[in-house]
Amino acid sequence: MMNFAKKLIHQNGIHPMNNNKKVKNVLVTGGSGYIGSILVRKLLEKGYKVRVIDNLIFGDEPIRDVKDKIELIVADIRDVQLSHLEGIDAVIHLAGFSTDPISQYDPRLTVMVNTIATENLAKITKESGIKRFVYASTCSIYFTLNPPSELPIYKETDNINPVSCYGITKRCSEQALEYMTDADFQPTVFRKGTLYGLSPRMRYELLLNSFAKDAFFKKQLTINGGGDIWRSMIDVQDAVAAYIKAIELPIEKVGGKIFNVADKNWNIMEIAQLVKNIAKETRDIDVDLKINPNINTRNYKVDTTPFKETFSFKPIRSIKEVLCEIWDHCENDPNHDPNNPIYYGDQWYAKFFETPKGKKFRRRL
């Protein structure tokens, strides 16, 4: 576990982590997104006051039923101002491009949104006197070219060399937060594994969600890389619980630290076989497995020990329950179209960038 703040332990004779002010008011950036739309509801259930900053590129439907219970600021994350953080006790920063294909579409834009905007938000947060800042990074930063045949299990303290635009911008943001960390600003970085599970802002490009969709509608799963690819993964409900715990745990446990946030390292063939078996058991669906040859794609394993120990992590539910929830949703909503571009970030952004709003969003300085 990487600790940004060790050098501050007894600075000026004062331990930097003694202030554990109870969090009541939370700012969530990207609060209408895949994680955010669930997180906002859970925070409300727990009695928090929630302010959301979101540009609503995917619309407001994911949070429409709770809009009267939150303070919604429709804004570009690049335009966050000091006034947006007035009265806030903690920031959970989810906004940004969240996949490799989207990030590669316009690397300049990705740098602006993922890195420069994050650094600016962090500076404003610190200026506002807010100590808790939880940042959504990714385990994709461990993907590098020419990995050894025997994959290492990456720890948070290992040297890394991300190669994708997505991974590089996330790593740059981590470094910006590291340089800002001091006694008054204690960010927590979540390097999350690949997410899965149903969300009001559903994403079918995510691995297990894609398998769930294809098993149900196509009765076939396509397995790339010969099946010999590894991913760290976590249920979106578990990720949401971790974000909330990050603002509730004593700050000395989470402040100035990076965590690999995942449940387990999964082999893709193992996941596909599990989905196949559960589809047969619960829906009497026979699923074929189509295996494609090895290709150069993300492939990594991570050590999750610090996360599991610090957060006392236990999965909320099983993968079987996750799959059945997705399948129930598909069965019970006759208007649900899994091929709608809104469920695929790269497709939706490609369409968005052709609109007047999208062109302005992309070309601004």
> Cβ distance 120 to 78 under 8 Å?
yes
pLDDT beyond 80 at 270? yes
Predicted confidence (pLDDT) per residue in 45-57, tens digit: 999 999 999 999 9
Calculate the average pLDDT of the chain.
92
Is residue 115 assigned to a domain? yes
State phi, psi for 90 to the nearest 5 degrees: -155, 145
Is residue 283 assigned to a domain? no
pLDDT at position 6, please? 44
pLDDT at position 16, please? 41
Is residue 247 assigned to a domain? yes
pLDDT beyond 60 at 142? yes
pLDDT at position 295, please? 66
Is residue 336 assigned to a domain? no
pLDDT beyond 70 at 9? no
Is residue 54 assigned to a domain? yes
pLDDT at position 1, please? 52
Q: For a pLDDT cut of 70, what percent of the chain falls above it?
A: 93
pLDDT beyond 60 at 18? no
Is residue 296 assigned to a domain? no
pLDDT greater at residue 54 or residue 296: 54
Q: How many angstroms separate the CA atoms of 291 and 245, rounded?
A: 39
Q: For a pLDDT cut of 90, what percent of the chain falls above it?
A: 84
pLDDT at position 362, please? 93
Total tally of structural domains belonging to the chain: 1
Predicted confidence (pLDDT) per residue in 84-110, tens digit: 999 999 999 999 999 888 998 899 999
pLDDT beyond 90 at 283? yes
Predicted confidence (pLDDT) per residue in 162-176, tens digit: 999 999 999 999 999
Is residue 338 assigned to a domain? no
pLDDT at position 19, please? 56
User: CATH no. for residue 180?
Assistant: 3.40.50.720
Q: How many angstroms separate the CA atoms of 7 and 284, rounded?
A: 58
The 3-state secondary structure of 102-126, one letter per residue: HHHHCHHHHHHHHHHHHHHHHHHHH
The 3-state secondary structure of 271-307, one letter per residue: HHHHHHHHHHHHHCCCCEEEECCCCCCCCCEECCHHH
Predicted confidence (pLDDT) per residue in 305-320, tens digit: 999 999 999 999 999 9
pLDDT greater at residue 323 or residue 150: 323
The 3-state secondary structure of the chain, one letter per residue: CEECCHHHCCHHHCCCCCCCCCCCEEEEECCCCCCHHHHHHHHHHCCCEEEEEECCCCCCHHHHHHHHHCEEEECCHHHCCHHHHCCCCEEEECCCCCCHHHHHHCHHHHHHHHHHHHHHHHHHHHHCCCCEEEEEEEHHHHCCCCCCCCCCEECCCCCCCCCCHHHHHHHHHHHHHHHHCECCEEEEEEEECEEECCCCCCCCCCHHHHHHHHHHHCCEEEECHHHCCEEEEEEHHHHHHHHHHHCCCCHHHHCCEEEEECCEEEEHHHHHHHHHHHHHHHHCCCCEEEECCCCCCCCCEECCHHHHHHCCCCCCCCHHHHHHHHHHHHHHCCCCCCCCHHHCHHHHHHHHCCCHHHHHHHHCC
Q: Can 166 be counted among the known catalytic residues?
A: yes
Domain hosting 9: range is 2-201+234-263+301-316+350-363
Is residue 118 assigned to a domain? yes
pLDDT beyond 90 at 11? no
Sign of the C-alpha dihedral computed for residues 163, 169, 173 and 175 taken in this order = positive
Q: How many angstroms separate the CA atoms of 175 and 114, rounded?
A: 13
34, 135, 166, 204: which one is catalytic?
Answer: 166
pLDDT beyond 90 at 30? yes
pLDDT at position 10, please? 33
